[in-house]
Every structure is written in C-alpha cells, then in structure tokens.
Amino acid sequence: MLEDKYILVIEDDFDLQWLIKKILLLNGFQVLTAVTAEQAIEEFSRHLFDIQAIILDLSLPDQSGLSLCEEFRKVTPDIPIIVTTGSEEREVRKQAEGLGVAGYLIKPFDIINLVRLLSKIVIKQ
C-alpha cells in the first residue's frame, strides 16, 4: 500500500474501531479514524486526496450513516465505501446499495472478510 494513502474508519464503538484499525495496520493499511460524523467530515476534508476507501458505521451518534454516505458521494462519487451495521433491515440495505456502496457488512462480521474485501477494492483503484 502507498504510505500516504489512508482508509477512513468511522465507527462509534471504540472496541470495534480499535480492532479494525489494528487489523488494517497489521495488513499494511494506513488508517484514519472518527467516532462521529462531524469528526469524519473533518478527517475526510483534511485528507480528501489521500483516502482510498471508507469503512462507515451506519449508526453514528450525531448523524445517519446513510446521509453521511450521501455527503461523501457528492464530493467523491467513486470513493469505495464499505458500510457496517447492526441492522438487517432490507430497506436500509437497499438505500445503501442505491448509494453504490462497495460492501455491506452486518455486525458481528468476520474482520478477515473485511480485510479481504478492502484489499480487493483498493487493488482495483
């Protein structure tokens, strides 16, 4: 992976965020993290041209993950976004897929599958 390219992990569960970050670092990815949509927008803006992909929890404390996904799409329509959620609602999945997400993972998910999916996505770029 290129040293100046990042994966933005937006997750409000600190333990899960830590685990995802640790595994991604061990697999050669550079990682930025955010707990809220506000922090995510700040990191996204600061590193706009250096973010390769986004891992986005759909339930954040300050904004819907789907609306945040829409905001990212307006700025960078082609950035790969993998959403994570505890919800198995078909409508939510349909909305996420309508936004062109690269992956939809229902918690609890296998962290190794996340790394595999991310590796495929980043290599395609």
pLDDT, tens digit, 9 for 90 and up, residues 93-125:
999 999 999 999 999 999 999 999 999 998 765
| pTM summary value | 0.94
Helices and strands (DSSP H and E) totals, the chain: 5, 5
What superfamily does domain 6-124 belong to in CATH? Response regulator (3.40.50.2300)
Q: How far apart are CA 43 and CA 34, in angstroms?
A: 7
pLDDT tens digit sequence for 38-82: 999 999 999 999 999 999 999 999 999 999 999 999 999 999 999
Query: Other CB atoms closer than 10 Å to residue 57's CB: what's the count?
Result: 24
Cα separation, 69 vs 98, whole angstroms: 11
